[in-house]
Chains A and B, each alone.
Chain A
Amino acid sequence: MSSVEVRNITKSFGRARALDDVSITFEDGGFFALLGPSGSGKTTLLRTIAGFSFPDTGTIRIGARNVEAVPVEKRDIGMMFQSYALFPNMSVADNVGFGLRVRRVGAAEERRRVAEALDLVQLGDKGGRMPHQLSGGQRQRVALARAIVTQPKVLLLDEPLSALDKTLRVDMQIELKRIQREVGITTIFVTHDQEEALTLSDRIGILRDGRIVQAGTPREVYDHPNSAFAATFLGEANWLPDAALEGLQLPGDRTRHRFAVRPEALTLTDGRPATGNALSARLEQRVFAGAMATCLVRVDGEPWKLVARDRDLPEMAPGSEVWVSWTPEDTLAVPREAAT
């Protein structure tokens, strides 16, 4: 197990910049999610670390070794693909043992480690099956066992769960996290699903247009987004209209910051609350969803969203005048960007 260090990586395809001066460190044993919209360069970054794609400039270090010039098969990585990519002509055990055979560990050692890896993913009894005899979730586990059985320095996963349906995906997330903890392997996980990133990772990197816009623990990024993009890509944000700022307690300078509040930080009342920041609003819609409810309101013409326990909300008809309020510490101060 090793840390992975990416320094000043740039990669262009023709005139398009897929990666633009990316520097990021993946700590030893950490679970790191690369999060970003489609086309932001996540796959390219992962494939560059794996060695399927070579950067135009910059350095990559896996453990103590510089690997820019090292081919994939010599980088000692584990990789999991969205399509599972199990070898259709080999049994489950032969699939899992492939990397061990390539490394010539010997038949007995291979058998022992394959059995161990299959037990780890709870498929101990499925070694003799062929891939086409397995369900999607089972193939996923085989692919994971195959990727980690060689004890690689780093595990790379490119949206591995996006082919699974919702319930199975959640199960696999829990499973993946358990196995990652058990094995302690440095893991880099690409996803465009913010919920998945929050569930799994202990660090997040947000990509946009080939650049890392922010990296940190999920809580850091969620509570202190450094850009409007980060604020809206990880979680949702209600932006304070400039006209409404007067009289509010704000954690920053309004010429350099924009301010926002998360939906769950807001409280909805029919009268003006005595303390905290409050703005008058018009209730547009209230969506009941079991324990929680979502309210859509308008503040100075801006659409806002508010999430609260249903029982905490006053009974009010759509169109009523209401107040939205929040504690001043919950205000996000987001640096204004030059562009966008």
Chain B
Amino acid sequence: MIEEITDNGPQVTIMSLKNVAVSFSGKVAVRDATFDIAKNRVTSMIGPSGSGKTTLLRAINRLHDLTKGAKVTGEITLDGEDIYNGGIPTTLLRSRIGMVFQRPNPFPTMSIYDNVASGLRFNGVKKKSVVDEAVEHALQSAALWDSVSHRLKVAASTLSGGEQQRLCIARALAVEPEILLMDEPTSALDPVSTQHIEDLMSSLKEIVTIIIVTHNMQQAARVSDNCAFLLMGEDRAGELIEFASTEKIFTKPSDKRTLDYIQGRFG
């Protein structure tokens, strides 16, 4: 449990990672990940390339299940329930934990509307009035409604890269997930689109818990409440070095390596 009181009130844990490790065909990619995710907060994961941030993120919605040779050990709980060994069906888990990928990946065969509606339809929601409302609401939450409301039926591929990424955010939000995983969501975007998405995150906090991977230190400092720093160990396996409030990580980290990294001395 995170007990620290911050200026926006006490934090409630929604998810806990305990000694989480991921290996591919026996080769460890990340290990020793133990930290709590606070509800309705933004948690960032930072660290150099190859330190296992993406790998850890994908363990949280069980995307590694599809990769042959991938093995996740340790324990991840959502609302106290073990997501790997508990009773939550994988598909249900994934609809409770949305994901936004590094590169915008809207479904090219679907319209803007159908992209946003896709998650609902995958999960068996058919009622048009429900879908219509969810689509509008999700597009509004992703700050995209005003620019696409008059062309919902056009192919999603006609949108700009930044708009496509916001469409993917809307698509993830439409199923009303409790947690939203974002893997470097702005790394392919220009500063204006990046700004849009960062602004979005602070408003989204009220409805969803966000875990974001980013290479952009200022972004982590700006948007996140808590921060996990990962680094590759001797054997090139990533491990959690430090987890604390973002403020602490960026002002007085307890590990020397964290300090070196945020000051840009390696990575």
Are A and B associated in one complex? no
Give A contacts to B, CB under 8 Å: none
Interface residues of B (CB under 8 A from A): none
